[in-house]
């Protein structure tokens, strides 16, 4: 049904201190920020292309999700600017795609609080307090009243998975039984397993897996984790908005796609809708349902310079929740083809 050979994929765990990426000077972990991450990733790419020269000059795209809503446009901007005036650039950069992406602190706050209230996750009173105390402030350094309101909101939300509000949370002790059942009944594989993150932590810490990946050959003093507390805690620069970079790269004619899984409450689609609206782009095709197998798979709007796509029923990580729709989305992005109408 699908021709899967659409692209070569290169995964980068970034910045150093995250995943298997590391620094020879671990004190670096306390000094990371957006700018250093972009510079390091750029250096990595140059070295990688030297090591694998057969990939030089090919069409090159960057994609990422969540806080990569900062990493991806910033690295894109760096590559774009260093390529300026270069005739046949080694990194033949064509565009980027981000999903459930942190984009613009002001609009992200407005849209996130509205998502929480309209999805019934928080009280009327907390909604009002969040609007009064957080909106307009930096998400990296919010005022104390905003932090208090965010804590109240989290308490009101209860024990749900904020990254996928309608699916179950992981009950790890029951997970092995569920794994066994799916082993026996392979047609049940379609559903999202909320313990996926737990399995990944186990998996990437297995010595045989690390060996097969050629990873962790310097024997790090800490295990592979999904998030580095140190890197997160000591984070330095984090600009309030990526929208100026969007404007610059759209004006440069680069391909820019943005997508949202619509059941994520962490960086929800309403946040992204407000951020994109703030770009004041011309609409080429207004909001329409896109289809896969005659079923609505989400919605899309095409602007001059930017395409926005939602994937319905998908949480924070679209490829994890809706792998088939994510593949169609990825292929459409590479082919620069609009998502299919009915």
Residues with a catalytic annotation lie at: 66, 264, 316
Q: Tell me the closest approach of the beta carbon of residue 159 to a second copy, in angstroms.
A: 6
Among 66, 107, 210, 270, binds a second copy (CB under 8 A): 270
Considering only CA atoms, which of 17, 43, 76 is closest in space to residue 232?
A: 17
Q: Are 290 and 339 in contact (CB under 8 A)?
A: yes
The count of chain residues that interact with a second copy, using the rule CB under 8 A, is 45
When the beta carbons of 101 and 165 are compared against a second copy, the nearer one is 165
Taking each helix axis from N to C end, the angle separating 105-118 and 124-133, rounded to the nearest 10 degrees, works out to: 170
Among 313, 324, 327, 331, binds a second copy (CB under 8 A): 313
Q: Are 40 and 16 in contact (CB under 8 A)?
A: yes
What's the Cα-to-Cα distance from 90 to each of 87, 93, 94, 198, rounded to whole Å?
10, 9, 12, 38
Residue 192 makes contact with a second copy by CB under 8 A? no
Binding mask 221-260 for a second copy (x = CB under 8 A): ---------------------------------------x
When the beta carbons of 23 and 157 are compared against a second copy, the nearer one is 157
Distance CA 151, CA 147 (A): 6
The secondary structure of 197-244 as a DSSP string is HHHHHHHHT-HHHHHHHT--TT--SS---SS-HHHHHT-----SBSHH
Cis peptide before 13 (omega within 30 of 0): no
When the beta carbons of 22 and 127 are compared against a second copy, the nearer one is 127
Residue 269 makes contact with a second copy by CB under 8 A? yes
Among 226, 283, 336, 340, binds a second copy (CB under 8 A): 283
- CA quadruple 184, 186, 192, 197: dihedral positive or negative? positive
Sheet holding 92-99, edge to edge: 59-65, 92-99, 255-261, 306-311, 295-303, 283-292
Residue 301 makes contact with a second copy by CB under 8 A? yes
Among 263, 265, 275, 332, binds a second copy (CB under 8 A): 263
Q: Are 291 and 272 in contact (CB under 8 A)?
A: no
Residues 131-160 that bind a second copy (CB under 8 A): 156-160
Angle of CA points 232, 236, 241, to nearest 5°? 95
Among 57, 86, 287, 323, binds a second copy (CB under 8 A): 287
Considering only CA atoms, which of 126, 192, 119 is closest in space to residue 154?
A: 126
Residue 78 makes contact with a second copy by CB under 8 A? no
Q: Pick the stretch among 84-92, 226-234, 240-248, 286-294 that binds a second copy (CB under 8 A).
A: 286-294
Binding mask 2-21 for a second copy (x = CB under 8 A): --------------------
Residues in CB range of 251: below 8 A, 6 or more apart: 305
Residue 119 makes contact with a second copy by CB under 8 A? yes
Residue 85 makes contact with a second copy by CB under 8 A? no
Q: Tell me the closest approach of the beta carbon of residue 289 to a second copy, in angstroms.
A: 3
Residue 126 makes contact with a second copy by CB under 8 A? yes
> At residue 239, what are phi and psi to the nearest 5 degrees?
-55, 150
Kindly list the residues in this chain that would bind a second copy in the complex (CB under 8 A): 114-115, 117-126, 156-160, 165-166, 168-169, 185, 260, 262-263, 269-270, 273, 277, 283, 286-289, 291, 294-296, 298-299, 301, 310, 312-313, 342
């Amino acid at each position: 049904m699908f021709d899967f050979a659409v692209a070569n994929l290169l995964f980068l765990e970034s910045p150093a201190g995250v995943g298997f990426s590391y620094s020879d000077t671990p004190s670096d972990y306390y000094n990371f920020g957006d700018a250093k991450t972009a510079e390091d990733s750029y250096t990595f790419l140059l070295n990688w292309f030297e090591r694998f020269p057969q990939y030089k000059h090919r069409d090159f795209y960057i994609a990422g999700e969540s806080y990569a809503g900062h990493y991806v446009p910033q690295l894109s901007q760096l590559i774009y600017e260093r390529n300026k005036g270069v005739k046949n650039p080694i990194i033949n950069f064509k565009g980027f795609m981000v999903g459930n992406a942190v984009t613009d602190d002001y609009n992200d706050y407005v849209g996130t609080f509205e998502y929480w209230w309209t999805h019934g996750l928080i009280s009327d009173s907390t909604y009002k307090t969040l609007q009064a105390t957080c909106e307009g402030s930096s998400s990296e350094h919010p005022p104390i009243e905003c932090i208090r309101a965010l804590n109240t909101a989290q308490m009101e939300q209860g024990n749900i998975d904020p990254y996928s509000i309608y699916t179950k949370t992981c009950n790890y002790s029951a997970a092995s039984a569920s794994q066994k059942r799916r082993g026996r009944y392979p047609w049940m594989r379609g559903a999202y397993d909320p313990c996926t993150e737990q399995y990944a932590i186990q998996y990437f810490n297995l010595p045989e897996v690390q060996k097969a990946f050629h990873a962790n050959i310097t024997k790090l003093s800490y295990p592979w984790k999904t998030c580095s507390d140190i890197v997160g805690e000591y984070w330095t620069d984090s600009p309030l908005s990526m929208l100026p970079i969007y404007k610059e790269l759209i004006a440069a004619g680069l391909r820019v796609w943005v997508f949202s899984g619509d059941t994520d409450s962490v960086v929800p689609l309403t946040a992204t809708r407000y951020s994109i609206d703030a770009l004041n782009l011309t609409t080429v095709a207004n909001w329409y349902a896109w289809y896969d197998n005659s079923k609505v798979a989400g919605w899309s709007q095409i602007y001059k310079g930017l395409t926005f796509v939602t994937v319905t029923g998908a949480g924070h990580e679209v490829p994890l929740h809706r792998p088939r729709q994510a593949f169609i989305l990825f292929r459409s992005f590479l082919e620069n083809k609009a998502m299919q109408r009915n």
